Structures are given as C-alpha cells and as structure tokens.
Amino acid sequence: MGPSPLIYSGVIIILVLISGIYINSAWQWNDQVRSPLLNPVPSQPLDLSSAPGEIPSRILVIINETRQSLDLIAAIPDENRTTINTVIRFEEIMTACDDQTLLLSLIADENPDPVVTSEARNGIGIRDAFLNEVYLRSDMAHALSVVVPEGKEEQILRQKHLENFNFAALPEDKKTKLMRPLENLSAHEKQYAVNQQAGNASSNLNLMSRIIADRQEIVSLLGYPSFADYQIARSGILSDSECIRQTLYTIASPICRLSHDEAAVLLKKKQITDPNATGVFDYEIALLKSRLLNATGQISPNDVSPFFPVGPVLGRMNQVFSRIFGISISPVDQVPQFSPDFTLYRITDPETDEIRGWFYLGIRSDQGLGTSSGKTYYLRAGREENGTWIPAVSAIILTTPDITDTDRDVFTQAELQTLFHEYGHMLVHSLATSRYATLTSGAHESSGYIEIPPLFLEQFLWNPEILDQISGTRDGTKMPKMMQDQIIRSGGRESEYTRVYDVFLSLLDLSLNAGNETPDFLNLYSTLYEDCTGFQSTSGGSALLMNPAFFISGNAGTYWHYVLDNAYAHSLFERFIKAGVMNQSNGISFREKFFEPAGAEDSVVRMRNFLGRDPDVIRCSHTS
C-alpha cells in the first residue's frame, strides 16, 4: 500500500512506509540509531525474532536518536546546505529509523508470543505519532526546500520527501483554518471505527454525511473541488474525478454485461424450484453456481485443487518466474526461522550469483476466515551503501481458511491467484535498482499505479502455457485439457460477480467522494449494486458500513485505481501474449524497463518504455 493521509490529534499525518537505510560513512551523526535488535546484516535476511521487553526500550532509543539527528540538519545555515548534508542525510536518518521499525508490523501480526505482539502494536503507535511530529516540522520542510539537487535521482528523492511536508509548508493562516475541520474529521472517523467494532451500522450511516462534509471543507481550503480530486492528485495520475468516472464506466460496461448475463442464467436455475422468483440475491450465487456446474457437467473448484499441491506448486512458480525474468528464486535451508510457517527465499542473478533480494513466505490458516487473503510487508528496501548493494527484504503472508490442516495441502484457484498477486508486490520491491531506499521501496510506488505489478502477474496464472507448467498432482498426473480450458475461459474466476464487485466498489467510492453534496448512501448502494452486478443485495449496504477497509481507510476516494491498474496490467501482458509468455528476452526487458526503474521513473514512463507506446487506459472527453 502506498502512503496515505491520516488524521491524528487534529492534524494530517503522512505515514510513509520508507523501507531501508542508506548510510554514507562520511556522515556519522548519531548512527547508533541502528540497534542490535533489528539491525540488518547486508548480505543476510533480517532477524525477525524479539524477546519480551526489547521493543519498548528500543523504540524510544530509536526515536530519540532520530530526533537529535534531524535537529542537526535543521541547525545548518541555509548558505551551507548541500544535497549531501540535507537531502541525503534526511534520507539516511529516516530510512534508518524505518528500517528498524517497519518490522514491527510483521512482528505484531505474526509473532507467537502475545506479549511481544502487544508490545509491537504499541510500538507502531509510538512510531506513527513520531512520524506525525516529524512531518509537521516547518524547519525540516524549509531545509529540504532550500536545496536544489543536480542529479535526477536526488531531485526525485527530494520531491518525494517534500510531499510528506505538505501541511507543514502551508501558510500559518491556512493551517489555522484547517485545524477545526481536521479535528472534527478526526473525531468523527474515530467514532466511526468504534461503531464498526460495536456492529452499529445505523450510527455509521449518520456519521457518513458528517465525514463527507468534513473532507469537503478540508480539500476546499486546499484548493481541490472534491475529496476524490484531492486523492487523484496525490495518486500521481494526471486526471480528475470526472475523467476517472468516464473511464470507469467505459471499462465497466462489458464487465457488468457479463455479470447480468450470469444473473439471468442463475435466475432461471432458481426458478426451477421457485417459479415466482424475480431476482437472485448475492448470498445465493455460490449455491446456484454449484448447482449449475453439476447440471451442465462443468468442473467445480474442488475438482481443480488436487492439481495445485502446495509444495510442488511453489517450486514450479519460482522456476517459471526465474526463467521469465532472468533471475533465480530458491529456498534457503538451515536458517533460524521466525515461525514454523515461514520459508525464506533468496533472489539472485544467475550469472553473477549476486543477491538481489530476500523474502519470507508464510502460509497459515485462520478458522474464522471465509476466504483467502494476502499481505506483503516491505521490511527493507534495496539500496547502495558505500558501493555495495544491500538487498531488499520483504515478507508475504497468505492466510487461508484451512490450508495448513493435515487433510488439505493444496491450493484453491483463489488462493493461488492471491499468491501470484503478492508475488507482484514482492518482485517490484526486490528488483528495483535506485541508489536510495525511499525510491526502491515498493511502498513508494505512486498510489494510483501500485496494483499494476501484482495484477500483471495474475495474468500469467490463467495462461495455458503457464497453467500447464505449474499444475499437476503430487504423483505427476497432469491437469486434463478440458479442465485447463474451462479455467482459462473463466480467467480463474468462479463467478463473473467476483470481477464486477471491484467495479461496483470503485463507482460507489467515487460517487461518495466526488461531489459537494452527501448522497443517499443506502439508495445509492442498492441502485448501483443492481445496475452493476445484475444481482440484488442482501445487506443493502449495511455490511459495507462495517468494513474497515472502506470509507475511512486510506483507500477512501481511490478504489478506482484497482480497476484502472487492472486495465494497465492487461495492456502490459498483451506484449507477452504476442512474444510468448516464456520468452525470456521479453521478460528481461520487462524487468529492466519496469521493475528495476521503479520509484526512480514515473509508472507511465516505465510502461511506455516497455510497450513502445502509451498504455492508453484513461480516455475521456473531459480532461483536467
């Protein structure tokens, strides 16, 4: 996920997930901030272990040392400022701090000791409050604004850092005007979250109008016509809400039509037992789809899973991506593991054996989970240090309802698609080659384009050549061609509804955040839901009011980017279809022109360099 504006104690926080550390031996100001607890060894993966009591003491030391080092930068007279002692030194200090604290998210989620996980969560809160303090410092905003670097990468680096001081750099009178609506928004969003935990949807329905009004007041003071336009501007996409809306409807039209066709087929199936039925509710889709598959002799997801055994599929996946992109992905044995559910992998250059990156892969079950989910943690970004390349480190967690149970050691189609998706996040983080950690970190991909690499990798899974290579039972039985053909025709989806739902959320999110007036949420939800999907909603929007990832998360006003990024991903994959998906020269070209320049070049420029043309996804009659 990319950086997102949050509200903390009535002010805007820009929480930037800066991964990595860039240390230049010529500058030795308080470098003891590199603690033995979380200090990376350049040629080895990170130590993810932690004992009770270590995190609380270390986080305070890290913050105090970081604050003192920043004070030294602020004290430099303007006439003595240089790129090295201000821009690069700021990069060193902040990435050193984050290099040690980003691990806390993984520790909080995965450490088996409840005491340690609690300490890690508290540490995250302390870190976030400190970042709030840093990015409100007008003296640091001024220091970075004074220096104009000559090098291209240094110019980009300075600009990325300055973007995080947008509130600190505002005139004092505007800050004063913003404080009241910011405080209101903070209070309302906190109460919204409390209501979610309490299951109080009706109260959140009332709060929604207040939050929308707060956002509109804030962005109006900042000079934006709507909250959606503010988010679009921050995303790096040169467009506006009306253009995005037109593009979404253009993309949505054929997808919604397919979902309506599916709804009509399932309605006929439903009318066999309920002749008076006039529609299909969302909760009936899975059951009716299963009955339809049985009636037509089509293959069900349960028939497919035996051809995706966990261990063999992981090995085949790594071989396929190694061959395509000209790298080597291999498991590392006999190293201390953070958890029994984790395996450590190393990415190397097969010609030089140079390590390009490390990643942990954890597969675990959650009895209460209804469907699989994936998450990628950026633990350290690759960077250059004294002429030596420091490899990136990341972690992928795949959580499934029961994959680690002894009676099931296979992937479902959805779980495998989730894994391919997270590999996209991991690879762009691992293979970026800029000198600076802030630029190479996958967390710093422009938020409007951050889903392109994972959605691009998903395209490979449902290609016949790739599917044939990664599938097969443990005893070597290949997947029947009829089964392959059915999977490929469906694009791996068990229902057209699963694809159209993202389009629906994008249009709903944009409708809520792109206007000056508060819409009737329940009416908007029901109407838009049926228009998009062809199905009827059971919850009428109440369930979405309880979803922490919608409306008050960092995704608010930006759900559209998933749909647009999917269109970009299809455009990129078209070249692989034409050249051959296993064509290594094409894969290496993609690695060199898209993965490696990540952060140091704009996403559209990288796509243009690979395709030899503009990707042409956003097309509309109205432009900003």
Q: Is 184 within 8 Å of 214 (Cβ atoms)?
A: yes
In angstroms, the CA 366 to CA 319 distance is: 29
Residue with tokens 């409306």: 551
Q: Give the residue among 33, 40, 10, 154 at the shortest CA–CA distance from 94.
A: 33
Q: What is the pLDDT of residue 17?
A: 27
Report the distance separating Cα 579 and Cα 447, nearest Å. 29
Q: DSSP string covering 426-474, please?
A: HHHHHH---SSHHHH-GGGS-GGGTTHHHHHHHHHHTSHHHHHHH---T
Token pair belonging to 147? 């220096």
* Token pair of 555 as six digits: 């995704």
Domain boundaries, the chain: 4-168, 174-223, 235-298+495-624, 306-449
> What own/partner pairs with CB < 8 Å and gap ≥ 24 does 338-342 have?
338/48, 338/49, 338/106, 338/110, 338/111, 339/110, 339/111, 339/112, 341/404, 342/110, 342/395
Q: What is the 3-state secondary structure (H, E, C) of 334-393?
A: CCCCCCCCEEEEEEECCCCCCEEEEEEEEEEECCCCCCCEEEEEEEECCEEECCEEECEE
The CATH number of the structural domain formed by 235-298+495-624 is 1.10.1370.10
pLDDT at 165: 92
How many helices and strands, by DSSP H and E, does the chain display? 24, 9
Q: What is the CATH number of domain 4-168?
A: 1.20.1050.40
Measured at the CA of 273, the angle between CA 271 and CA 274, to 5 degrees, comes to 55
pLDDT score recorded for residue 5: 32
Q: Does domain 306-449 have CATH number 3.40.190.10?
A: no
Which pLDDT tens digit goes with each residue over 510-537? 999 997 777 889 889 999 999 999 988 8
DSSP secondary structure letters along 34-95: S-TTTPPPTTS-------TTHHHHHHHHHHHHHHHHHHHHHTS-GGG--IIIIIIHHHHHHH
Q: Which residues of 414-448 are buried (b: 16+ CB within 10 A; e: fewer)?
A: bbbbbbbbbbbbbbbbbbbbbbbbbbbbbbbbbbb
Task: Please give the order of strands across the beta sheet that includes 392-400.
Answer: 328-332, 342-348, 355-365, 392-400, 373-380
Residue 293 has what pLDDT? 57
pLDDT of residue 288: 66
Amino acid at 477: T
Q: Which element (helix H / strand E) includes 124?
A: helix 114-134
HSE-CB at 111 with a 13 A cutoff on CA atoms is: 22
- Please give the pLDDT value at position 376: 94
Q: Hey, do 235-298+495-624 and 306-449 end up sharing a CATH topology, with the first three levels equal?
A: no
| Residue ranges for the chain with pLDDT beneath 50 | 1-42, 296, 404-407, 622-624
Tokens of 328: 């080597």
Report the C-alpha gap between 448 and 162 in whole angstroms: 19
| Phi, psi angle pair for 492, to nearest 5° | 80, -5
Task: Report pLDDT for 240.
Answer: 87
> What pLDDT is attached to residue 35?
32
Q: How far apart are CA 17 and CA 246, in angstroms?
A: 32
